[in-house]
Amino acid sequence: MQLEPTLEQAEMRRAVREFCSREVTIERLLDWERSGVGVDEATSRKVAGLGWLGLGLPAEAGGGGASLADVAHLIEECGRGLLPRPLLARMRGALGLAWLAPRSPTLAAVARGERTVALALDERDAREPAGWRTRLAADGCHVSGDKAFVPDAEAADLHLVAIGAPERPRFVLVDRRAPGVSCAALHSFGNEPQAHVSYREAAVLEVLEGGLDFDDWRRHQVALALAEMIGGMDAALAATVGWVKEREQFGQKIALFQAVRHQVADMGTRFTSARHLAWQAISRLASGSLGVTDFHSAAAWTGASFKQICWTAHHLHGGAGFVVEHPLRFHSERAQSLCIRWTPEAPALARIAATLLD
């Protein structure tokens, strides 16, 4: 076993942490939230300039050629530092494109940060690919359908659109500004600009193929969510430890109350086990040695742990952590929105049960 990050990974983590502590202040998070776009142009350019959007893209396309594990280290730190969600969505979009079509001619522009990609997967009445009704026209050059809850849909240059098909889903790339594409912005918690998107005979730029099959592609996306959640729950735990050491009630630090101390202990235990389960799944996915239930266990436990840790963190912070200016609620929002989108517990448990019993 080798459970330490490499020197390069550790250095990257340190750099991301420094960037986030410098650039992602609570004041900016509030400004970005009020603006409705989630992040300003200057910060977007800085992140693109650092090469993070293209870190995991193939070197032949001008990307960083980094492994899934490398990218997961980056994302974990982004989760810890509350990097604006549109930027995380763009990283996912870029990687999503590269994993589906590693020889796509569009990748070079994405790697340079000139174009960004939004993932248009879900539909209002379908959570699984079999239910997707978005279709490719007979000419193979136009797409029609309605996608829901598309992150960063209005700001992204390109949409990676999932097409329902009887055998397996297919994916195409569409220019967001193309005729027939219209976005309706949504207000949701999670500080993540999203939109419902309608495609009406929208021109297809590229049919994406030659990469991972859908199940494997989705596992790679979930791996990124696991990493982001680990970073977020570590931050929530650290904030809580700091708070209970300082906060005084009844004439003493609240950490001196055993009831408080034990809740912190349980947060730490939950975080430690979730971190191992998540990273075990990520590293095994990256090395192609994934066990039958590794991923489902990691998804179920990590998501539930992130939410549980945030709830306990809120409880121990009391009113101080309940105000909108406190970063804790950003983590709590991300905990729930990441779980809903990427790691819902019930389907993961159902798959584990099927493995155990069927």
Partner 1 sequence: MDYGLSPRERAWRDEVQAFIAEHVDERLVDETRLRGNEGRGAEAQRFLGALRQRGWDRIAFPEEYGGLGKTAIEQWLFIDEIETAGAPMLPLTLTSVAPTILRIGDEAQRREWLPRIQAGEVDFALGYSESEAGTDLASLRTRAELDGDQWLVNGHKMWNTMAHMATHNWLAVRTEPDAPKHKGVSMLIVPMDAPGVSVQPIHVWPGLRTNAVFFDNVRVPRANLIGERGLGFYYAAMALNFERLSIGSAGMARRIFDALVREVRVRVVDGRPLRGDPWVRDRLARLRVELDAARLLGLEVAIRLDRGEVPAAASSMAKACVSELAQRVADTGCEILGLDGQLHAEEPSALVKGRLQWLYRLAPMLAFGGGTNEVQRDIIGFMGHGLPRK
Strand partners, 126: 123
The owner of tokens 């502590």 is: 21
Is position 55 an interface residue for partner 1 (rule: CB under 8 A)? no
Instruction: State how far the Cα of 310 lies from the Cα of 236, in Å rounded to an integer.
Output: 6
- Closer to partner 1 by Cβ: residue 103 or 261: 261
Strand partners, 145: 199
Query: Helix or strand or coil: residue 142?
Result: strand
With CB under 8 A as the contact rule, the residue among 124, 127, 200, 262 that binds partner 1 is 262
With CB under 8 A as the contact rule, the residue among 37, 50, 203, 256 that binds partner 1 is 256
- Closer to partner 1 by Cβ: residue 24 or 300: 300
Token pair recorded at residue 116: 């960004």
The owner of tokens 């809850």 is: 149
Instruction: State how far the Cα of 96 lies from the Cα of 287, in Å rounded to an integer.
Output: 18
Q: How far is the CB of 282 from partner 1 (least distance, A)?
A: 8
**In one letter, which amino acid is 261?**
R
- Closer to partner 1 by Cβ: residue 116 or 280: 280
In the DSSP assignment, the letter for residue 147 is E
Is position 274 an interface residue for partner 1 (rule: CB under 8 A)? yes
With CB under 8 A as the contact rule, the residue among 273, 292, 315, 318 that binds partner 1 is 273
- From residue 275 to residue 314, the character string flagging contacts with partner 1 as x (rule: CB under 8 A) and all else as - is -xx-xx-xxx--x-x---xx-xx--xx-------------
Q: How far is the CB of 12 from partner 1 (least distance, A)?
A: 14
Instruction: State how far the Cα of 25 lies from the Cα of 28, in Å rounded to an integer.
Output: 5
Query: Helix or strand or coil: residue 193?
Result: coil
- Closer to partner 1 by Cβ: residue 178 or 256: 256
Token pair recorded at residue 46: 């800085």
Q: How far is the CB of 297 from partner 1 (least distance, A)?
A: 4
Q: How far is the CB of 308 from partner 1 (least distance, A)?
A: 12
With CB under 8 A as the contact rule, the residue among 11, 60, 128, 266 that binds partner 1 is 266
With CB under 8 A as the contact rule, the residue among 253, 292, 320, 323 that binds partner 1 is 253
Neighbours of 223 (CB within 10 A): 27
Is position 268 an interface residue for partner 1 (rule: CB under 8 A)? yes
CB 330 within 8 A of CB 82: yes
- Closer to partner 1 by Cβ: residue 257 or 311: 257
CB 261 within 8 A of CB 255: yes
Distances (CA, A) of 283 to 2, 14, 232: 10, 20, 19
In the DSSP assignment, the letter for residue 126 is B
Interface positions with partner 1 (CB under 8 A): 1-5, 69, 241, 244-245, 253, 255-256, 258, 261-262, 264-266, 268-269, 272-274, 276-277, 279-280, 282-284, 287, 289, 293-294, 296-297, 300-301, 348-350, 352-353, 356-358
